[in-house]
């Protein structure tokens, strides 16, 4: 095929060199920090652009590995397995940004990993700091059996393009981009910094800008409907340019794209400003995408296996191929389980991939039936229903800004519900936990959500979590969750058991029950406050 290429993001040689040219500065600053010559706050601004931050206690750090669209190819699979063994990378974490973070690393390991990642097409430059972040998308794009339009060439085009902007424009504190096929919204395109919804009926895009979670969350503003997909780069460049001229750089807490709505006087003014700048960008730059330059074909085929039936297995549109979903609890696979998966998948053909998802799960795709059965066996310890596929950020045991141990709370809830009889966990919903208000665990869109806080109880500062209900990420039904109370951390498992007992008694799923029982839910929260 003309323009056919590998599934990795194959950026130009010049851009590759540009993304690593200041690596010596990162090495110098990292060594100074771990020698206690630089403060935690100062180092954060120096290391973030290289995809690394110090962890709580300032003795260790994390390395953030960026995989555009969450796609990990075979070469990268083999490299991850090799690096995990050579450097004893014992704490992998799948994040909601469709990337992987490795935690509890010493400074020299962080230094060594950066160029090794770079040489395997994992460009961690810009994975943190004031730069464009990873481009997210629907994880089954290009392989789903009922797919009406595979727009993945445009996703890859934008993924590559935003890398070219890392050193060209003064960016907000974060700049997140994402696509959705319209059937799901796990990447939150309608309330993202820059979100794209594919209109399958006419193969066009609709673009939303200046949305976001965290403090002062906002829904995105629709700035383009049914636009030609070849024009998508004009839109992302326009948003970046508007923020560079109007964004708030003096207050880091407001140095986010969503605050443009307030700065410019509201959604309507933002829309008008966007159209004005878009016209200028169109007249001065050539950013039209040729999809053939970013296309690829999956050539592998298998034999259809009617007996391969499992809730974690799906049949792809490529004949005889299957995908398997795996959701390690809280996005935290054990080192041994992750290595076993990497070793097996790495032994297969070049077209097998891992695809990270925005809910901290991963799909293993392009498998034959026999390969899918093997992967199922290797991943049997993950979540097997909505409840056990709940989402948590890494939490305060690792994160320097985290307030509470969100990952620990998640496991405590799981253990308590698992042991509680006769609670039926199939009736409980997916819940979301963030260790602080930043919403890295996306608590603001959960049917039930939590974020860590502190509260004085009997004159003693006590770990608590604020509880939220009613979040919805579904396109057309988007709604941020409402805060309804605060529960001491140690009582939250008891709250879930009480809720589970209520649902089990009525034999009703939470999503159906809550429609007419919000007052009952709020009263239950109040009983545990």
Last residue of a domain, one of 378, 399, 424: 378
Q: Residue for token digits 């009889």?
A: 421
Three-state DSSP state, 463 = strand
Q: Residue for token digits 């990990």?
A: 72
Is position 302 within any domain?
A: no
Identify whether residues 107 and 197 lie together within a single domain. Answer: no
Predicted pLDDT at 478: 95
Last residue of a domain, one of 77, 112, 127: 127
Q: What are the beta bridge partners of residue 100?
A: 65, 94
> From residue 53, how far is each of 2, 3, 329, 347 by CA, in Å?
42, 38, 23, 33
Identify whether residues 167 and 68 lie together within a single domain. Answer: no
Identify whether residues 408 and 523 lie together within a single domain. Answer: yes
- The structural domain count of the chain equals 4
Predicted pLDDT at 172: 64
pLDDT tens, position by position, for the chain (529 residues)? 334 433 344 577 888 888 899 999 999 999 999 999 999 989 998 998 899 999 999 999 999 999 988 999 999 999 999 999 999 999 999 999 999 999 999 999 999 999 999 999 998 887 665 566 789 999 999 999 999 999 999 999 999 898 888 776 777 678 899 999 998 898 999 999 999 999 999 999 999 999 999 999 999 999 999 999 999 999 999 999 999 899 887 777 787 899 999 999 999 999 999 999 999 999 999 999 999 999 989 999 999 999 999 999 999 999 999 999 999 999 999 999 999 999 999 999 999 999 999 999 999 999 999 999 999 999 999 999 999 999 999 999 999 888 999 999 999 999 999 999 889 999 999 999 999 999 999 999 999 999 999 999 888 999 999 999 999 999 999 999 999 999 999 999 999 999 999 999 999 999 999 999 999 999 999 999 9
Distance CA 393, CA 301 (A): 37
Is position 457 within any domain?
A: yes
Return the exposure string of 46-61: e unless at least 16 CB atoms fall within 10 Å of the residue's CB, then b: bbbbbbbbbbeeeebb
Q: pTM for the complete prediction?
A: 0.93
CA–centroid distance for 384 within its chain = 20
Answer for the pair 477, 470: CB distance below 8 angstroms, yes or no: no
Answer for the pair 101, 394: CB distance below 8 angstroms, yes or no: yes
What CATH number should be reported for the domain holding residue 264?
A: 3.30.413.10
Identify whether residues 87 and 178 lie together within a single domain. Answer: no
Identify whether residues 181 and 216 lie together within a single domain. Answer: yes
Predicted pLDDT at 244: 87
> For residue 179, which of 131, 232, 143, 127 has the smallest C-alpha distance?
232
Answer for the pair 283, 275: CB distance below 8 angstroms, yes or no: no
> For residue 332, which of 398, 259, 269, 273 has the smallest C-alpha distance?
398
Predicted pLDDT at 129: 57
Identify whether residues 177 and 272 lie together within a single domain. Answer: yes
Is position 513 within any domain?
A: yes
Identify whether residues 349 and 368 lie together within a single domain. Answer: yes
What Rg do the C-alpha atoms of the chain give, in angstroms? 23
Identify whether residues 174 and 289 lie together within a single domain. Answer: yes
* Strand 448-457, strand 431-434: pairing: parallel
Identify whether residues 140 and 119 lie together within a single domain. Answer: no
Identify whether residues 153 and 118 lie together within a single domain. Answer: no
Q: Residue for token digits 């920090």?
A: 33
What CATH number should be reported for the domain holding residue 325?
A: 3.30.70
Predicted pLDDT at 458: 86
Count Cβ atoms within 10 A of the Cβ of residue 305 and give its class: 0-12 exposed, 13-18 middle, 19 or more buried: middle
Distance CA 169, CA 165 (A): 6
Identify whether residues 162 and 261 lie together within a single domain. Answer: yes
Last residue of a domain, one of 75, 102, 127: 127
Identify whether residues 4 and 105 lie together within a single domain. Answer: yes
Per DSSP, the residues of 250-264 read S-GGG-SGGGHHHHT
Enclosing domain of residue 347: 313-378
> For residue 448, which of 385, 383, 488, 392 has the smallest C-alpha distance?
392
- DSSP code, position 230: G
Distance CA 354, CA 143 (A): 13
């Amino acid at each position: 095929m003309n323009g056919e290429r590998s599934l990795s993001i194959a950026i130009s040689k010049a851009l590759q060199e540009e993304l690593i040219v200041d690596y010596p500065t990162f090495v110098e600053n990292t060594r100074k920090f771990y020698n206690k010559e630089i403060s935690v706050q100062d180092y954060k601004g120096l290391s973030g652009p290289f995809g690394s931050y110090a962890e709580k206690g300032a003795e260790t750090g994390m390395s953030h590995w960026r995989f555009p669209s969450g796609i990990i190819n075979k070469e990268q699979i083999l490299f991850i397995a090799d690096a995990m063994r050579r450097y004893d990378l014992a704490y992998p974490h799948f994040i909601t940004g469709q990337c992987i973070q490795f935690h509890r690393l010493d400074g020299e390991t962080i230094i060594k990993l950066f160029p090794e990642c770079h040489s395997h097409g994992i460009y961690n430059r810009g994975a943190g700091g004031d730069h464009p972040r990873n481009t997210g998308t629907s994880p089954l794009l290009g392989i789903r059996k009922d797919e009406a339009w595979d727009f993945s060439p445009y996703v890859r085009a934008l993924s590559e393009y935003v890398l070219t902007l890392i050193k060209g424009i003064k960016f907000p504190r974060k700049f997140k981009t994402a696509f959705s096929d319209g059937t799901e919204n796990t990447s939150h395109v309608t309330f993202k910094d820059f979100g794209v919804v594919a209109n399958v009926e006419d193969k066009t895009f609709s673009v939303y800008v200046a949305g976001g979670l965290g403090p002062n969350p906002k829904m995105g503003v629709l700035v383009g409907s049914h636009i030609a997909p070849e024009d998508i780069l004009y839109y992302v460049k326009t948003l970046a340019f508007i923020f560079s001229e109007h964004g708030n750089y003096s207050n880091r807490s407001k140095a986010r794209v969503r605050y443009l709505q307030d700065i410019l006087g509201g959604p309507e003014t933002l829309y008008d400003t966007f159209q004005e700048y878009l016209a200028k960008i169109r007249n001065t730059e050539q950013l039209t995408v040729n999809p053939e330059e970013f296309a690829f074909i999956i050539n592998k085929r298998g034999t259809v296996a009617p007996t391969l039936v499992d809730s974690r297995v799906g049949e792809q549109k490529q004949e005889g191929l299957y995908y398997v979903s795996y959701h390690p609890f809280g996005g935290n696979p054990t080192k041994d389980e992750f290595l076993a998966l990497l070793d097996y998948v790495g032994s297969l053909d070049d077209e097998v991939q891992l695809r990270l998802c925005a809910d901290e799960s991963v799909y293993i795709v392009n498998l034959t039936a026999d390969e899918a059965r093997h992967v199922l066996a290797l991943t049997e310890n993950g979540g097997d229903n909505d409840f056990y596929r709940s989402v948590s950020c890494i939490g305060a045991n690792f994160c320097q800004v985290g307030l509470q141990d969100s990952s620990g709370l998640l496991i405590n809830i799981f253990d308590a519900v698992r042991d509680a009889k006769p609670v039926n966990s199939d009736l409980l919903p997916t819940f979301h936990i963030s260790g602080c208000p930043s919403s890295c665990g996306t608590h603001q869109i959960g049917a039930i959500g939590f974020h860590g806080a502190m509260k004085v109880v009997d004159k003693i500062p006590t770990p608590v979590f604020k509880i939220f209900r009613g979040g919805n990420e579904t396109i057309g039904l988007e709604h941020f969750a409402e805060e309804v109370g605060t529960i001491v951390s140690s009582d939250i498992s008891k709250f879930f058991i009480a809720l589970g007992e209520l649902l089990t008694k009525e034999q009703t799923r939470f999503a159906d029950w809550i429609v007419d029982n919000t007052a009952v839910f709020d009263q239950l929260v109040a009983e545990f406050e």
